[in-house]
A and B are shown apart, each in its own frame.
Chain A
Amino acid sequence: AQTVTQSQPEMSVQEAETVTLSCTYDTSENNYYLFWYKQPPSRQMILVIRQEAYKQQNATENRFSVNFQKAAKSFSLKISDSQLGDTAMYFCAFIPGNYGQNFVFGPGTRLSVLP
């Protein structure tokens, strides 16, 4: 069975600082995709970043970047220059490479950005 673990239920960071959210997963698949989604208080799920397992280069989207360690099955999210609007639940998600498969979500990390 595939599982996703987020070991930090809650985190906080000062505005403009950098924070890293951890995520580990377990799978026997070789081809898969990893995602970070953000769920702010509005509860709208917003895609933050995605990573294809076959790509060695870490994905980057503006202030968001990942550290993908395939051998260790680790997929952490780094948020640089944290902003108040980054306050949200962050979910790590895994999906096998076969089209139409459903996500496996982690339990989430609640991030608070402090002024």
Chain B
Amino acid sequence: GAVVSQHPSRVICKSGTSVKIECRSLDFQATTMFWYRQFPKQSLMLMATSNEGSKATYEQGVEKDKFLINHASLTLSTLTVTSAHPEDSSFYICSALSSGETQYFGPGTRLLVL
């Protein structure tokens, strides 16, 4: 149990376009999901906390207009990178909080902006 999927796994886009990443909890409901960014050989950096039915809470330094988060249901959160630029290229990982405190992670999305 506790499976989290992420789609797409990899995306290449042109500078200026928007990219949507989906995070789904497949076998449990998650009122809280998290979005992380990971640079090569570094730890995970929390970008925002996504709560079902309410606005996301962004970490300091993360532009909320740049990284739009929507958590419309108990099994789906989306991250939209708006007007993506090469510096947004990174590995994005979501996680979903199951009952209790354990986070289960999606497989990640590799974004490359040309």
Contacts and interface: CB of A to CB of B under 8 A. Distances in A.
B8 interface: no
A42 interface: yes
B105 to A, nearest CB: 4
Interface core residue of B42, B91, B103 (most chain A CB under 10 Å): B103
A35 to B, nearest CB: 7
B102 interface: yes
Interface residues of A, number: 22
Chain B contact residues: over half helix, strand or loop, or mixed? strand
Interface core residue of A50, A101, A103, A106 (most chain B CB under 10 Å): A103
Contact of B44 (A42, A91, A101): A91
A99 interface: yes
A12 to B, nearest CB: 16
A42 B101 contact: no
Contacts of B102: 33, 35, 47, 50
A102 B101 contact: no
A52 to B, nearest CB: 9
Interface of A: 33, 35, 37, 42-47, 50, 91, 95, 97, 99-103, 105-108
Interface of B: 31-32, 34, 38, 42-44, 46, 49, 51, 91, 93, 95, 97, 101-105, 107-108
28 contacts: A33-B101, A33-B102, A37-B105, A43-B38, A43-B91, A43-B93, A43-B108, A44-B105, A44-B108, A45-B93, A47-B104, A50-B101, A91-B43, A91-B44, A99-B97, A99-B101, A100-B31, A100-B32, A100-B97, A101-B101, A102-B34, A102-B49, A103-B34, A103-B44, A105-B43, A105-B44, A108-B42, A108-B43
